[in-house]
Amino acid sequence: MIEVRFKKKSTIIEFVVSALAVIFEELADRVRYFKEDERGISEMCKVMEDMRNETIERRNIEVAKSLYMLGKLTIEEIASTAGLTIDKVKEVTSTLAVQQ
Q: Could you tell me the pLDDT band of residue 23, with boundaries at 50, 70 and 90?
A: confident
pLDDT digits (tens, 9 = 90+) for 27-58: 889 989 998 999 999 999 999 999 999 999 99
Q: Structurally, how many domains does the chain consist of?
A: 2
Residues 61 and 83 grouped into a single domain? yes
**What percent of the chain is predicted at pLDDT more than 70?**
87
- pTM of the predicted model as reported, rounded to 2 decimal places: 0.65
Cα gap 54→47, rounded to integer Å? 11
3-state secondary structure 56-81: HHHHHHHHHHHHHHHCCCCHHHHHHH
Task: Check pLDDT > 60 for residue 6.
Answer: no
Average pLDDT, the chain: 88
Residue 80 lies in a domain: yes
Residue 71 · residue 97 · CB < 8 Å? no
Residues 28 and 64 grouped into a single domain? no
